[in-house]
C-alpha cells in the first residue's frame, strides 16, 4: 500500500495502488488527446469527495484513460468530465496505477467503467 502526503501536509493511503496493473493493459489503440478535463475523486461507494480539480487527459481508449495532474488522488475511482462539440462527456475511471513524474506532478491511469455524453442546449453554447 502506498502512503502519500497531500498539499495540506496530512498523510492519506492510496489502497487501490497495491493491485497489479500488469493484468489490465489496454488492448485497444489509444488516442493521444492532451486537453483539460475536470476530475472528481470518488470513494468505493462512488461518493464524491466534494473536491475536484483540473487535470489533463493525455490519452484515451474505449476502456482506459491516462491523466496528468498535480493533485494527489488516493480514492479508487475518479469522475472525468469535459465539453466538446456541444456535448458534455462524463466518465468513471477505476484507477490502476500512478507514477510521480516530478514535484507534485503525477500520471495516473485506469480502466473506464462508464461513459456518458449529453447534448448542451443551444442557448447555453457559446
| pLDDT tens, position by position, 38-56 | 999 999 999 998 899 999 9
| pLDDT of the residue at 23 | 46
Residue 117 has pLDDT above 70, yes or no: yes
Provide the CB-side half-sphere exposure for 117 (13 A, CA): 6
| pLDDT of the residue at 32 | 72
pTM of the predicted model as reported, rounded to 2 decimal places: 0.75
Q: Which of the four pLDDT bands, split at 50, 70 and 90, describes residue 13?
A: low
| pLDDT of the residue at 60 | 87
Least confident of 6-15, 43-52, 68-77: 6-15
Mean pLDDT of 93-121: 93
Domain boundary assignment for the chain: 2-124
Cα 106 → chain centroid: 11
Reduce the DSSP state of residue 96 to 3 states and report it. Answer: strand
Mean pLDDT of 98-124: 89
Measured distance CA(39)–CA(43) in Å, rounded? 13
Cα 37 → chain centroid: 9
Is 2-124 a domain of CATH 3.30.110?
Answer: no
Tell me the three cell numbers of residue 16. 487501490
Q: Which residue has the higher pLDDT, 29 or 118?
A: 118
Amino acid at each position: 500500500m502506498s502512503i502519500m502526503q497531500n498539499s495540506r501536509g496530512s498523510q492519506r493511503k492510496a489502497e487501490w495502488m497495491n493491485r497489479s496493473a500488469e493484468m489490465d493493459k489496454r488492448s485497444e489503440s489509444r488516442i493521444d488527446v492532451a486537453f483539460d478535463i475536470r476530475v472528481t475523486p470518488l470513494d468505493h461507494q462512488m461518493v464524491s469527495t466534494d473536491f475536484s480539480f483540473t487535470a489533463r487527459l493525455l490519452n484515451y481508449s474505449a476502456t482506459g484513460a491516462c491523466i496528468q495532474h498535480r493533485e494527489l488522488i488516493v480514492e479508487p475511482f475518479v469522475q472525468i468530465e469535459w465539453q466538446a462539440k456541444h456535448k458534455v462527456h462524463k466518465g468513471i475511471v477505476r484507477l490502476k496505477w500512478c507514477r510521480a513524474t516530478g514535484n507534485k506532478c503525477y500520471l495516473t491511469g485506469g480502466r473506464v467503467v462508464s461513459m456518458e455524453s449529453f447534448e448542451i442546449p443551444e442557448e447555453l453554447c457559446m
